[in-house]
């Protein structure tokens, strides 16, 4: 069946359907229901005491915003009275909210952690400070008064329908204040965000930004928002291109200097082979270090960061993964220095994770830390130009030479706020003479109400490939896309990568390919009487053909059906067919391998995400089907239990049973993770992360204590330990203790 697909005919038919998109049924709501006039908040003449009570005389002059229900029924009746007010003065932007609740005992206040959402009731303020309708800053809090802030990029256009982890960066932090109070009438909030923490441009004394506010009541799965942005996209009220406009007059961001030195020290024990490789012995050492960062706003929205002896010891450990592919695994970035305004450096190539610039190439090598002497980062906006630059110098370590890494990015808006042209250059130069230089050009053109054209080109120059070939060293992609979750959506794309296209600072899973891609989806809302909120079936057809002879290397063809429930739960059902033509045997655990050959196999899957408002909730996924010339059963469960606002228990269990009965081979993989989060207060917390992976036969623990005196002033105590669980099958026998490390780190920020 898979061999019967005729791509040229299918592409022609798809193009015809796309040309006729204007004849699809009208969407239930217009693209935006905001007025053309921007919102003009009240300028305060009296001070506000940030104590969580919205009772200062200054608040009486500020009118509440006319909120509407966003979900479960757009423009439905609000079940709880909600007063949210926005105001400003010479230095700060303020949000005040009285959040009445007819059942105060039902208020969800689960998290005590900076930046952690755990099914809480929340109040949010979202600002497109660049006013470019592409980027945004998201501030929210819960009844416990946590500070949570995130950066939004790429107009919240995520991968696979889910923006999280791709265009929402929860590691971004800035300086701001919040206080809350819980009473027998509900709860209340006061936020104060200094203009020094926001990047914006003023024209003739007027600052215009995108904005929205929202209240979430999780036990009811109700969200109230202003302005009235229709739910035609995932998290539409946070989508920068759909935000309302807010205008401030005669405000100045200022240009403070943030100086953040650190001091750290600790000890470690590692198991190493003795010289004759007959046994392992443990070696201990003590370490101490100093370093720091400097942040300075060159303009209101152009920031320079300098770092010396950069340290990321407090970053959370990576999740253990099981690899059932023949490609390298991708791990997300968790180091904060590389997270701020990271969206500007986004240059995706093919696949879900492939990209021109992968920050984990800097300071990491095969899971080991590489010392970073220092570097700089410049990010921001100048007029209609997005500007980004990073340059870092690493030390020689683990057999690698000292290296310099450079990333330089420019992007300019053209035609409209959602269209741009851009370029990126990456350089990787080693002290031993090796070098790799890449340039890329990209553009996105919005040509209709929902339609986008995208073009990308990149070329690699590498010391290992002295014969520069346009065909062998390059990458190109052309795409037309209709972006919406309600009504017809589609993607038509063609991608090509040369056999030597290996960007030295990127992540590339395969080279020498041609990839056609077709995606069609259609979404609609169910009736008000239904328990279902919305439905979105989707069909995806893609292949990777070898550039050398056009033969199929991989193909994936699947149908999915996404259901969003009014309770807040989600279901996704999926039927997938795949073809793989492998030229080298694939090795799996337990001395299992798939021999050379061509394979067609099929899979049926289901994924469930529970309602966030439950104190005990279980997310899950399951799939069953053929796997090359065998079978695979995969089950995953993720329970989360909020015992109180001070204690959250979470776990993940993943099981894979892979069998190849015709060859008498099989393997089983179990991955277990346990997370314990103890919040003594919004300042002091412990995060304990225990993992076990039978594929690597390792148990690891990552325990982090943090005391946050204030923003930029932290004490960290970090404990890491690894244990080998399969010692006897190795020669020489592995030690039970693989390694242990204890570290203490203190940072303090001076503001000048």
DSSP letter string over 42-56? EEPSS----SS---S
| pLDDT of 381 higher than 90 | no
Give the three-class secondary structure for 480. Answer: strand
Looking at residue 3, its pLDDT comes to 42
Name the DSSP letter for residue 450: S
Least confident stretch, 83-97, 216-230, 262-276, 393-407 = 262-276
Contacts of residue 93, Cβ cutoff 8 Å, sequence gap at least 6 = 86, 87, 127, 192, 193, 195, 198, 248
Mean pLDDT of 153-165: 58
Nearest to 518 by CA among 546, 494, 535, 485: 494
| pLDDT of 105 higher than 80 | yes
Looking at residue 369, its pLDDT comes to 82
H or E segment and range at residue 515: strand 513-525
Looking at residue 317, its pLDDT comes to 65
Q: How confident is the model at residue 161 (pLDDT cuts 50, 70, 90)?
A: very low
pTM of the model: 0.84
Beta-bridge partners for 174? none
Mean pLDDT of 561-568: 92
Are 557 and 546 in contact, with CB atoms under 8 Å apart? no
Strands 257-273, 364-365: parallel, antiparallel or unpaired by DSSP?
Answer: unpaired
The tens digit of pLDDT for each residue in 643-671 reads 988 999 999 999 999 999 998 899 999 99
Give the three-class secondary structure for 229. Answer: coil
More confident residue, 243 or 171: 243
Q: How confident is the model at residue 4 (pLDDT cuts 50, 70, 90)?
A: very low
Strands 148-152, 665-679: parallel, antiparallel or unpaired by DSSP?
Answer: unpaired
| pLDDT of 729 higher than 80 | no
Are 250 and 117 in contact, with CB atoms under 8 Å apart? no
What percentage of the chain has pLDDT greater than the value 90?
Answer: 54
Are 379 and 340 in contact, with CB atoms under 8 Å apart? yes
Looking at residue 313, its pLDDT comes to 66
Which tokens belong to 140? 């929210």
The tens digit of pLDDT for each residue in 304-348 reads 999 998 877 666 666 767 777 777 777 777 676 776 677 788 898
H or E segment and range at residue 8: helix 7-19
Give the three-class secondary structure for 81. Answer: coil
| pLDDT of 253 higher than 60 | yes
Looking at residue 227, its pLDDT comes to 95
**Count of CB atoms situated within 10 Å of the CB of 263:** 15
The tens digit of pLDDT for each residue in 672-705 reads 999 998 989 889 999 998 999 887 788 999 999 9
Q: How far is CA 632 from CA 535, 576, 597, 605, 624, in A?
A: 28, 13, 18, 11, 6
């Amino acid at each position: 069946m898979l061999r019967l697909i005729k791509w040229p005919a299918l592409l022609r038919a798809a193009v015809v359907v796309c040309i006729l998109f204007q004849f699809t049924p009208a969407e239930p709501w217009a693209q935006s229901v905001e007025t053309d006039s921007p919102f003009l908040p009240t300028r305060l003449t009296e001070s506000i005491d940030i104590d969580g009570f919205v009772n200062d005389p200054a608040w009486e002059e500020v009118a509440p915003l006319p909120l509407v229900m966003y979900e479960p029924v757009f423009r439905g009746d609000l079940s709880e009275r909600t007063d949210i007010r926005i105001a400003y003065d010479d230095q700060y932007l303020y949000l005040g909210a009285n959040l009445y609740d007819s059942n105060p005992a039902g208020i969800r206040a689960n998290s005590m952690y900076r930046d952690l959402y755990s099914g809480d009731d929340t109040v949010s303020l979202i600002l497109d400070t660049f006013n470019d309708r592409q980027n945004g800053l998201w501030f929210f809090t819960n009844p416990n008064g946590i500070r949570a802030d995130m950066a939004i990029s790429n107009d919240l256009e995520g991968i696979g329908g889910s923006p999280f982890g791709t265009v929402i960066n929860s590691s971004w932090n800035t300086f701001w204040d919040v206080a809350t109070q819980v009473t027998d009438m509900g709860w209340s909030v006061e936020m104060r965000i200094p203009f020094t923490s926001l990047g914006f441009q003023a024209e003739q004394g007027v600052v215009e930004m995108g904005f929205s506010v929202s209240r979430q009541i999780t036990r009811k799965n109700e969200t109230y928002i202003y302005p009235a942005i229709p739910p035609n996209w995932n998290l539409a009220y946070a989508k920068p291109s759909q935000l309302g406009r807010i205008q401030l007059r005669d405000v100045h961001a200022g240009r403070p200097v943030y100086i953040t030195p650190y001091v750290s020290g600790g000890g470690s024990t590692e198991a190493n082979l003795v010289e004759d490789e007959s046994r392992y012995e443990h070696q201990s050492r003590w370490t101490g270090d100093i370093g720091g960062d400097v942040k300075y706003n060159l303009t209101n929205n152009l920031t320079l960061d300098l770092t010396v002896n950069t340290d990321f010891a407090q970053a959370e450990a990576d999740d253990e993964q099981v690899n059932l592919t023949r490609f390298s695994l991708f791990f997300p970035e968790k180091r904060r220095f590389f997270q701020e305004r990271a969206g500007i450096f986004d240059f995706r190539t093919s696949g879900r994770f492939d990209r021109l610039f992968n920050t984990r190439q800097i300071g990491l090598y095969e899971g080991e830390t590489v010392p970073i002497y220092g570097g700089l980062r410049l990010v921001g906006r100048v007029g209609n130009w997005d500007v980004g630059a990073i340059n870092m110098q690493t030390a020689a370590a683990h057999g690698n030479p000292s290296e310099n890494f450079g990333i330089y990015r420019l992007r300019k808006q053209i035609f409209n706020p959602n269209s741009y042209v851009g370029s990126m250059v990456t350089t990787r130069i080693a002290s031993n003479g090796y070098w790799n230089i890449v340039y890329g050009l990209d553009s996105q053109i919005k040509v209709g109400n929902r339609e986008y054209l995208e073009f990308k080109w990149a070329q690699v120059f590498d010391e290992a490939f002295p014969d520069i070939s346009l065909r062998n060293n390059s990458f190109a992609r052309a795409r037309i896309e209709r972006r919406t979750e309600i009504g017809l959506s589609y993607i038509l794309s063609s991608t090509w990568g040369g056999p030597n296209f290996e960007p030295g600072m990127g992540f590339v899973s395969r080279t020498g390919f041609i990839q056609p891609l077709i995606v069609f989806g259609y979404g609609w809302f169910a009736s008000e009487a239904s328990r279902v909120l919305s439905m979105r079936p989707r069909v995806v057809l893609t292949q990777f053909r070898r550039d050398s002879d056009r033969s199929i290397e991989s193909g994936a063809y699947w149908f999915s059906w996404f259901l969003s429930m009014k309770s807040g739960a989600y279901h996704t059902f999926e039927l997938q067919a795949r073809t793989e033509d492998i030229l080298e045997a694939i090795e799996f655990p337990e001395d299992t391998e798939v021999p050379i050959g061509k394979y067609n196999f099929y899979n049926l899957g289901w994924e469930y995400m529970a309602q966030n408002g439950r104190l005990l909730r279980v997310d899950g996924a399951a799939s069953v089907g053929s796997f090359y010339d065998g079978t695979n059963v995969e089950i995953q469960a993720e329970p989360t239990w909020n015992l109180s606002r001070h204690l959250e228990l979470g776990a993940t269990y993943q099981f894979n049973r892979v069998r190849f009965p015709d060859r008498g081979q099989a393997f089983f993989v179990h991955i277990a993770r346990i997370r314990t989060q103890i919040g003594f207060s919004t300042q002091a917390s412990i995060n304990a992360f225990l993992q076990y992976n039978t594929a690597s036969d390792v148990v690891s623990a990552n325990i982090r204590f943090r005391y946050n005196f204030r923003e930029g002033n932290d004490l960290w105590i970090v404990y890491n330990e690894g244990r080998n669980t399969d010692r006897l099958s190795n020669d020489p026998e592995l030690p039970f203790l693989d390694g242990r490390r204890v570290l203490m780190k203190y940072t303090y920020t001076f503001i000048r």
